[in-house]
A = this chain, B = another copy of it.
Amino acid sequence: MAKFVYSFNEGSKDMKNLLGGKGANLAEMTKIGLPVPFGFTITTDACKDYIENGNVLADGIMDEVAVHIDELEQVRGKKFGDIENPLLVSVRSGTPISMPGMMDTILNLGLNDDSVKGLAARTGNERFAYDSYRRFIQMFGDVVLEISKSKFDKIFNGQKEKVGAEFDVDLSADDLKEIIVGYKALVKEELGREFPQNPQDQLEEAIQAVFRSWNNERAILYRKLNNISSSLGTAVNVQSMVFGNTGNTSGTGVAFTRNPATGENALFGEFLVNAQGEDVVAGIRTPQPIAQMKEALPEAYARFEEVAEILEKHYKDMQDMEFTVENGKLYMLQTRNGKRTAAAAVKVAVDMVESGLIDKETAVMRIEPDMIDQLLHPTFDAAALKANTAVAKGLPASPGAACGEIVFSADAAAVASEAGKKVVLVREETSPEDLAGMVAAQGILTARGGMTSHAAVVARGMGKCCVAGCSAITVHEDEKFMEIAGVKYHEGEVISINGSDGSVYIAEIPTVAPELSGDFGTIMGWADEIRDLKVRTNADNPRDAAQAVKFGAEGIGLCRTEHMFFEDERIPKIRRMILADTEEERREALAGLLPYQKEDFKGIYKVMGERPVTIRLLDPPLHEFLPKTEEDMKQLSEQFGIPFEKVYNKTVELHEFNPMLGHRGCRLAVTYPEIAEMQTEAIITAALEVKKETGLDIKPEIMVPLVGISNELKYVKKVIEDTAEKCFAAAGERLDYMVGTMIEIPRAALIADQIAEDAEFFSFGTNDLTQMGFGFSRDDTGKIIKEYVAKGVLDNDPFQALDQTGIGKLVEMAVTLGKQTRPNIKLGICGEHGGEPSSIDFCHRVGLNYVSCSPFRVPIARLAAAQATIRNKR
């Protein structure tokens, strides 16, 4: 028969899956001789069995429990339910992965009408005994019997009123006895049966309640939100009680071995003299800093310092501990690796390497890559934040915190910003024309659009705070107000937004600027030594490029040329090009754009030095550049002296039912080779000129987007090569350049061997690959994906973390096929996934050469890449 119960002296820290985190660590502490009140753990297997049997405990389990209770009685020299010297226990849940939302602790289990007397006699403290009993009934009634807490509170407060007691402590033992009578009557009334007097029954009911709580709503929700498997189950820890509330030589506390906010190497925590665990939390008395325990309980403190040091050395990580002191003696109730801020994580890791506790690889593995965001962006002042409640929640589209006056247009943002005001740009959704306004704003808030909407992508590129797709907001851009839950907020009112969690506040919350420590540099240096993947950035302008270089980018993996066309001076020229009737007219308009593009590239080359720069040819469908409203069309028609009808007809002609699958990418270059010619000329001559001016040896990588057919690349490559030759001839000088393609059409992955005949590099455009591979338009399916994740149809949003099962298979195929044709083909990724740690791990495993991501994710990618190397080596 399976073993369902483990004594604390049978387990170890490596048995978390079976014993839960708490149980495993209690066993571990027991094993290494630390003072742990004895007890045992009922395994997660028992829980699974319970659930599989339709919430029925298997026969053997309570028998096993009985055996362990016997053992406990012997160890403690007390008896369960005894009137002389009763054994009391706590019952706590313990999951393999830390998980709020599970059943709370039950203390003092084992008390009944008889044993309470024994406890009173034994401690000589009747009030303490009855207070313990009434607490037990209350906790048990609430969490096991599921009687509303407020009903107990009513009885309790009734008694207080009756006797004129101000505080709980003002109640006497007799008052408490009366309360107990009331409690028991309540239980009988609610359940039609007496409050269980038999400690065995109490225990069995408590165990079942813990198991049931695995599937309560909060727990299910938490698991879904955090991608925790629902098949893990919870363990139950039964531990003999120790009392911190027996007098002034007792107490209870929680502490970290180091400061979890800063990482400083000193005990950090709180304690209360003469108190039980729950009192610390209840907030009735203010706990004292842990350092003061040295005076209050000097011996216990000394022992605690010792234990803390032992634990940190043993676990080789910062510990988060709970303890109780009973009559001067220290008891450890819990230890676990402590949660910490990014800053603390960095400092602790570096300190531990320096003290020889861990090695560099371990240090690098200790930092959660996504946490690094905290270090790079402004955050809200923690105190100020506490005082405010979010009025709405959107998607955490680009991390950081922002605070400013609401503006509803890019122009307004620019004007206000010039006037020295801080503003938050609020839009239905942004478009490329809002760029200047986005630069001017502190942050961006949109009502529509997902994690890869225009606002999100551009904001991340800039490292600017952005909350996107906040559907609770209705934006009335023309009338200059927005509505949330029926309340209107006008231009000029101050809001604050948190791009790291999507919260929106109608309040002025001060922000704190980020500061990078030397430890951060140290960790990143170690990561760079370790990682195999190169890290590039997606950048379309010198500003972003410079930011990325500062963050350690080793090149540009994606420079989107279309973003350059939206600036005020340029958009008319691209529109003229689109409205052209003949190739000649088109060439004329393009000639006007050439100098701008060339200057753009020169600027970028100069920032990047000899780092590789991948430039993508024009990608979006041309209709994106045309005005949307009739009014704007009229204006355009006047501007160019072109009949309105012609402008209108052109937009109708270019309209597409599914622009995602329309006339874009290299298809534009096949139809209008002159566009690719102009861009190639700009790319090549810019490189030649920079070489001449600075001596830098620029080797541009020209990337042809949206190839799905090998001949598309052949066709465009010829245009590029012919143009490049002309440029070389004109300049009387040559340079090396590469031509490659994005692999973003599913078919491209399938025929990558053919494409590699012409492509010198592949850059995986996993955004589009995901869109087409799943058949999900990211502009439309935000809601569906949310629903899918909620219903468990999808584990993750595949636009956030690369779907390794399906889309990853396409990537792998393309890698294999591409290398078949061209063994030294350069391989990278430039989709949004290039900055996401699990996706970076995948990229490492399939053998890409680099990942590319937005500038502010470069440090994250560097760290994640190092972790991938370490993880996959192990």
Task: Name A's B-contacting residues (CB within 8 A).
Answer: 656-663, 667, 670-671, 706, 708-709, 711-712, 715, 745-747, 750-751, 754, 768, 771-777, 779-781, 783-784, 787-788, 791-794, 803, 805-807, 809-810
Contacts and interface: CB of A to CB of B under 8 A. Distances in A.
Contacts of A774: 708-709, 745, 747
A651 to B, nearest CB: 14
B715 A791 contact: yes
A751 B712 contact: no
Contacts of A783: 663
A522 to B, nearest CB: 42
A484 to B, nearest CB: 18
A810 B813 CA distance: 12
A674 to B, nearest CB: 15
B657 A777 contact: yes
Contact of A657 (B711, B750, B780, B794): B780
A781 B768 CA distance: 18
A804 to B, nearest CB: 11
- Return the 4 tightest CB-CB contacts between A and B, nearest first: A661-B777, A658-B777, A747-B806, A657-B779
B658 A715 contact: no
Given A661-B776, A706-B775, A788 B747 contact: no
Contacts of A791: 670, 715
Nearest to A746: B746
Contacts of A805: 750-751, 754
A791 B780 CA distance: 34
A586 B671 CA distance: 47
Contact of A663 (B659, B670, B715, B780): B780
Contacts of A667: 784
A671 B784 contact: yes
B658 A794 contact: no
Contact of A661 (B658, B706, B745, B794): B658
5 contacts: A661-B781, A663-B780, A746-B772, A746-B773, A772-B772
A708 B776 CA distance: 10
A673 to B, nearest CB: 10
A347 to B, nearest CB: 42
A670 B781 CA distance: 13
A635 B470 CA distance: 33
A715 B660 contact: no
B661 A750 contact: no
A803 B709 CA distance: 11
Given A662-B780, A708-B774, 5 more contacts: A657-B780, A661-B775, A708-B773, A708-B806, A768-B775
Nearest to A657: B779
A791 B712 CA distance: 10
B780 A661 contact: yes
A777 B746 contact: no
Nearest to A776: B661
A586 B483 CA distance: 29
Contacts of A754: 805
A784 B668 CA distance: 9
Nearest to A666: B793
A794 B709 contact: yes
A396 B779 CA distance: 35
Nearest to A661: B777
B779 A658 contact: yes
A810 B745 contact: no
Given A715-B791, A775-B745, A784 B663 contact: yes
Nearest to A769: B746
